[in-house]
Amino acid sequence: MLNISETIEKSTQILQLCGITEPGREANSLLSLAIKRDRAFLIAHSEYELSREEEILFDEFIRRRSQHEPFQHIAGKQEFCGMDFIVTPDVMIPRPETELIVEAGLKILRDLESQEICEVGIGSGCISVSILSEMKNAQAIGLDISEKALVIAGKNAERHGVLSRLDLEWSDVFEVLSEDRQFDLVVSNPPYVPRDDVKTLQAEVRDFDPRVALTDGKNGLSIIKKIIDESPIYLKPTGFLLMEMGFNQSYRVREMFSSEVWKLVNFFSDLQGIPRMVKAQLGE
């Protein structure tokens, strides 16, 4: 049986040969997961020998990760806004930059008496669930074209105690909503990757995130435009639209907002300083 030190050394070499970024860190994380011990234990007990069961499980984790399956799929979860979210191949893995959408949504809602939210493409539920966890009087509806994603969103809402304030509906953008349904905030992280760019994505994203959550199958802008064009129907007067977009799309997205409909359109940068989020407010 190999001990912790030997196991990490061997698995780091395997992951490095397979082109995994930061193979040592990944090996440590996978070993912690396999033996159900934290990093401190790995450091303090480098001589600990894995049991046969732990070794088999760890070898399976390394096999999967060496094929570029995301660590989050192996672990079955991802931290987002300080909370653990269930993730599976049926939903996008929550990204750190999407936390900026949550922060912006909370700033908007804190200034409003009413706090009714509609999320288009709810996926794992990380945005709506995070907002509802902070805003105890808020109510939300989550729409998604994937029934499997809605199941995961429901599990995450239940996990964090907000399921009673979140309705989940199958819908192609706003299709399921009646036109008398209106919200204070429409929020979305839509599929914005152009079809021809999908092949250039990191393998962990290209091969494992659901394609329907990555791309519209066109130029990456068709669903963004549909949300911009139709959200005024479902927003209250002076309501807000908050949406993520691709790293090179801000100029074209700006052109989609009519000054006759929207009184405020601002773009915000991600952690790398790239405009990746738009906040727009309806006119009176």
pLDDT at 84: 97
Residue-level pLDDT at 111: 86
**Residue 279 is encoded by which pair of tokens?**
């906040």
- Tell me, what's the pLDDT at 247? 87
Q: In the chain, helix, strand, coil percent, each to 5?
A: 45, 20, 35
Query: Does 3.30.360.10 match the CATH number of domain 88-282?
Result: no
How much is the pLDDT for 117? 98
Per-residue pLDDT 10s for the chain (284 aa) are 789 999 999 999 999 999 999 999 999 999 999 999 999 999 999 999 999 999 999 999 999 999 999 999 999 999 999 999 999 999 999 999 999 999 999 999 998 989 999 999 999 999 999 999 999 999 999 999 999 999 999 999 999 999 999 999 999 999 999 989 999 999 999 999 999 999 999 999 999 999 999 999 999 999 999 999 999 999 999 999 999 999 889 999 999 999 999 999 999 998 888 899 999 999 87
CA distance 229 to 129: 26
Helices assigned H by DSSP within the chain? 4-17, 23-35, 39-44, 52-66, 71-75, 99-110, 126-134, 147-159, 203-206, 211-214, 222-234, 250-254
In the prediction, which pLDDT does 271 show?
80
The dihedral of CA 21, 19, 198, 78: what is its sign? negative
User: In the prediction, which pLDDT does 243 show?
Assistant: 97
Q: Which residues contact 254 (CB under 8 A, 6 or more apart)?
A: 265, 267, 278
Q: For residue 199, what is the DSSP state? A: G
| pLDDT at residue 38, rounded to an integer | 93
pTM over 0.85: yes
Q: Where do the H-state alpha helices sit in 77-196?
A: 99-110, 126-134, 147-159
Domain boundaries, the chain: 4-67, 88-282
Q: What does the pLDDT read at residue 85?
A: 98
Q: How many CB atoms lie within 10 A of CB 264?
A: 12
CB-CB neighbours of 275 under 10 Å: 19
What per-residue confidence (pLDDT) applies to 283? Answer: 84
